[in-house]
Amino acid sequence: MRLKNKVALITGASSGIGRETALLFAKEGAKVIAVDINTRGGKETVKMITAKKGDAFFYKADISSADDCRKMIAYTKRKFGGLHILFNNAGIMHSDDGDSQSTEENVFDLTMAINVKGVFFGCKYAIPLMRESGGGSIINTASFVAHLGAATPQIAYTASKGAVLAMSRELAVIHARENIRVNALSPGPLRTELLMKFLNTEEKKQRRLVHIPMGRFGEAKEMAKAALFLASEDSSYMTGTEFLVDGGITAAYVTPE
Ligand code: NAD
């Protein structure tokens, strides 16, 4: 088991990447705190873990709230006594997020509050407990759109993921001597709710698929495996960098037919 005796907090654990990662981390021996704003999904994730004799608790938090984030860390300490892995994974892609002309200020602000400030709050409140626990690994979910402009625009989302990537580098530099590693995980387009709700017509899906050399959307399970690598000692000399898991989309200029 690659995460035996480790405590892992995962945000956005009610669905998609977060749920698959919670299941995989628990299978690898981690004690999991599953955080989400969606109670039903989060409790389901925990049930799935405990049904397989894993150790997990759900905690409801809105990661854009400093108070909620402070409390989710206090809850983690109460339940498991420490923290070694923080997966800042929760994020939104708003359906009204478009180009600079069509996107309203409230959509931009909400996206930033969850996707960027949520990561900042996660780190702000988790790092003291990680220090106390002897160090650990922080994984922040960015996206391939931190590198490429999308033809189906999502200006707020794109800006937010660029910020996550930049923030992850600085966090890594500042906390490297405290045995806390910080890396970004940048998924390509995935077949999860988040993207499928946004690419809600066959035409929009094809518009995206045409750019992916592998010719398919990625799966949440494939991201969970990448997160496991970053969380475990397998990546012990990696910090301040990015793990792009994207079906080749950022490598392509023209994709094969
Ligand atoms: P998802 O929608 O399946 O899961 C996101 C989870 O975050 C949901 O359970 C949701 O309830 C939770 N959440 C949303 N706002 C929250 C808040 N304020 N507080 C707490 N929880 C909140 O999406 P996913 O595809 O699993 O996405 C996970 C991460 O991966 C996101 O950061 C997303 O931006 C990123 N990502 C996804 C894709 C993709 O194609 N799906 C690509 C690149 C990056």
Give the position, in ligand 1's atom list, of the atom nearest the Cα of 145.
43
Q: Is the pLDDT of residue 151 over 80?
A: no
Say if residues 72 and 59 touch (Cβ distance below 8 Å).
yes
Say if residues 220 and 193 touch (Cβ distance below 8 Å).
no
String of b and e for 119-129 (b: at least 16 CB within 10 Å)?
A: bbbbbebbbeb
Measure Cα distances from 146 to 7, 22, 57, 111, 237 in Å: 29, 25, 32, 14, 24
Class of domain 7-190+219-244: alpha beta
User: Of 75, 125, 157, 253, which residue is the catalytic one?
Assistant: 157
Residue 247 Cβ contacting ligand 1 at under 6 Å:
no
Nearest Cα residue to atom 26 of ligand 1: 16
Q: What is the pLDDT of residues 4-28, one digit of tens each?
A: 999 999 999 999 999 999 999 999 9
Any idea where the domains of the chain sit in the sequence?
7-190+219-244
Nearest Cα residue to atom 6 of ligand 1: 12
Nearest Cα residue to atom 21 of ligand 1: 36
Rounded CA-CA distance 222/21 in Å is: 9
Chain Cα centroid distance, residue 33: 14
Q: Is the pLDDT of residue 190 over 80?
A: yes
Closest CA to 190 of 219, 162, 210: 219
Rounded CA-CA distance 172/178 in Å is: 10
Q: What is the pLDDT of residues 60-98, one digit of tens each?
A: 999 999 999 999 999 999 999 999 999 999 999 999 999
Query: For this structure, is 253 an active site residue?
Result: no
Tokens matching residue 235: 């990546």
pTM score of the predicted model: 0.98
